[in-house]
């Protein structure tokens, strides 16, 4: 197996990408998504974390043996043979086959749109990893600044102000990149649901999803939340199936500082307080979320703060493993909503130095 080899997914590989089974690991799913028929094995190696690189050749050998992917050269030869067959068949057809040719053109366009969407999804996964790493770096920087301020080291105020300005510029660049990526995804989704490309059965399915979703007891509560802005009805119903609905009374602790855990929470109603080192840091209310760093970082960190209910609260508790084994579009929507919230929080917390030296409760970057 040469590092210059280029691979493509088989139809079986495309099906696994849409509906993974228990035989496919998370690393294998990542590599299947990166196989695009254009990037060599060496290029894919540069895109994956170091923990995956050592296993990459073995994983590719398994994907080839189970016909999940195949060599791009073999796929091109098969495609060329099929094209010749199609040309010979088209040569024998009469002039009255114009409608069939038009249908074939539409199918080709739909295939091209599918390939484009896969490329965008791979790009979005890469952007997600970059932003997760950047958020970790930014959080460490802000924590360092907070410790300096608590020690009343006024000699460093000028340097800290410069760091804040630099972080503000960096975050604006990240937000712009996310907006461009979202625009590309929106264009692809519009192509996918275009009336010209949907048959009657797909239209009926959309209508059925809308009817079933609106009848769910929690549908209206969730539809009003910013987190679910880009979710289709079918995706919202799937999210309700994998999420756990919780009700917490005032004064109860939802998370404790120092605990280890992976789930994150979305506040459907009520409000909570964030406490760190015995000090109240922030207040979160309806539509906010917390505990998401474990999912975004891909690790299982210690909880860095205590989260306590200020009033009777309703939460959606989500296990990241359930998200990872969900359809691709649902995973993209969840990651996008979390990153939107992360950027919004960071921008809100990036205030002038004068406000940071006061008792500011707005630092809710994630707990």
Instruction: Say if residue 157's pLDDT is above 80.
Output: no
What pLDDT band is residue 76 in, cutting at 50, 70 and 90?
Answer: low
Say what the pLDDT of residue 292 is: 86
- Comparing 154 with 11, the larger pLDDT belongs to 11
CA angle 117, 118, 123 (to 5 degrees): 95
Q: What is the DSSP letter of 19?
A: S
Instruction: Say if residue 359's pLDDT is above 60.
Output: no
For residues 236-265, give the mean pLDDT.
92
Q: Are 315 and 308 in contact (CB under 8 A)?
A: no
Q: Cα 270 to chain center, whole Å?
A: 26
pLDDT in tens, 20-35: 766 678 888 888 888 8
Return all residues near 93 (Cβ < 8 A) that are at least 6 apart. Answer: 100
**Angle between the 328-349 and 98-150 helix axes, to the nearest 10 degrees?**
30
Can you tell me the distance from the alpha carbon of 241 to that of 39, in angstroms, rounded to the nearest whole number?
A: 36
Structure tokens at 181: 């990526």
- Comparing 10 with 299, the larger pLDDT belongs to 10
Query: What's the whole-model pTM score?
Result: 0.41
Selection from 95, 123, 17 nearest residue 63 by Cα: 17
For residues 187-205, give the mean pLDDT.
58
């Amino acid at each position: 197996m040469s590092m210059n080899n280029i691979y493509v997914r088989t139809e079986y590989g495309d099906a696994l990408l849409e509906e993974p089974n228990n035989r496919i690991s998370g690393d294998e799913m990542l590599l299947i998504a990166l196989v695009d028929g254009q990037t060599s094995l060496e290029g894919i190696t540069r895109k994956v974390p170091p923990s995956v690189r050592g296993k990459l050749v073995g994983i590719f050998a398994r994907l080839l043996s189970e016909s999940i992917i195949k060599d791009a050269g073999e796929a091109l030869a098969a495609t060329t043979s099929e094209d010749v067959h199609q040309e010979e068949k088209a040569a024998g057809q009469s002039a009255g086959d114009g409608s069939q040719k038009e249908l074939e053109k539409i199918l080709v366009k739909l295939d091209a749109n599918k390939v484009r969407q896969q490329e965008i999804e791979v790009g979005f996964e890469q952007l997600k990893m970059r932003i997760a790493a950047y958020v970790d770096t930014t959080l460490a920087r802000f924590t360092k600044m907070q410790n300096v301020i608590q020690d009343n080291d006024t000699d460093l105020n000028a340097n800290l102000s410069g760091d804040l300005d630099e972080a503000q510029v960096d975050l604006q660049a990240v937000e712009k990149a996310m907006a461009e990526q979202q625009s590309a995804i929106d264009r692809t989704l519009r192509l996918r649901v275009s009336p010209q490309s949907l048959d009657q059965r797909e239209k009926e399915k959309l209508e059925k999803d809308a009817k079933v979703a609106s009848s769910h007891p929690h549908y209206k509560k969730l539809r009003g939340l910013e987190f679910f802005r880009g979710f289709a009805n079918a995706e919202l119903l799937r999210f309700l199936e994998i999420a756990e609905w919780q009700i917490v009374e005032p004064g109860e602790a939802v998370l404790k500082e120092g605990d280890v855990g992976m789930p994150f929470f979305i506040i459907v109603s009520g409000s909570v307080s964030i406490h760190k080192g015995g000090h109240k840091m922030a207040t979160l209310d309806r539509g906010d979320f917390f505990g998401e760093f474990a999912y975004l970082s891909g690790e299982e960190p210690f909880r860095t703060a205590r989260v306590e209910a200020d009033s009777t609260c309703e939460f959606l508790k989500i296990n990241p493993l359930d998200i990872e084994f969900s359809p691709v579009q649902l995973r993209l929507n969840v990651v996008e909503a979390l990153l939107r919230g992360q950027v919004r929080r960071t921008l809100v917390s990036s205030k002038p130095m004068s406000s940071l030296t006061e008792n500011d409760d707005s630092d809710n970057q994630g707990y």
